[in-house]
Amino acid sequence: MESTGIAAKAFIVKDGKLLIIKRRPDDPHKPGGWDIPGGRLDPGEDAVSGVKRETKEEAHMDIGVIRPLRISAFTRDDGQRITMTIFLCNALSDGVTLSEEHTEYRWVDPKDAPEWLKPAVKNFLKYAR
């Protein structure tokens, strides 16, 4: 397993609501937790292309990438170091069809986002005014 990785996530807003998706109960990282679409970039892949690909794979949605909201580096519970960019995005297609990696989705008010997303929510609210 790689000890470092680069990832991109999509903060998708539609009609003032944020798309969150629930991880499977057997997911190795944060099982059963709520997340936003995204994941690791392929070797040589740029972050914008990667977040669009990951969103298509996980939610079968087309998105428009507006701007980066947050870049962070952290260590996962399994010791992997991740550098992640969260992008503000809009939905270009209707409907969500989840991949096998997730069990549920919701459109929520951004203030009700999972706790780890709160810094991105603050950045989003700054741009939404």
Q: How confident is the model at residue 2 (pLDDT cuts 50, 70, 90)?
A: low
* CATH number of the domain that residue 97 is part of: 3.90.79.10
Domain count, the chain: 1
Q: What is the mean pLDDT of residues 9-27?
A: 94
**47-51, 98-102, 105-109, 112-116: lowest mean pLDDT where?**
112-116
Q: What is the mean pLDDT of residues 11-31?
A: 91
Question: What pLDDT was estimated at residue 69?
Answer: 92
Greatest pairwise CA separation for the chain in angstroms: 42
DSSP string, 63-119: EEEEEEEEEEEEE-TTS-EEEEEEEEEEESSS-----TTEEEEEEE-GGGS-GGGHH
Question: What pLDDT was estimated at residue 26?
Answer: 92
117, 118, 122, 127 alpha-carbon torsion, rounded to 10°: 20
Residue numbers of the domain that contains 107: 4-128
Give, in order, the Cα–Cα distances in Å from 11 to each of 36, 37, 71, 115, 119: 7, 8, 13, 14, 12
Task: State pTM to two decimals.
Answer: 0.88
Q: Which two tokens stand for residue 69?
A: 């909201």
Q: What is the mean pLDDT of residues 32-40?
A: 94
Q: How confident is the model at residue 41 (pLDDT cuts 50, 70, 90)?
A: very high
Q: How confident is the model at residue 10 (pLDDT cuts 50, 70, 90)?
A: very high
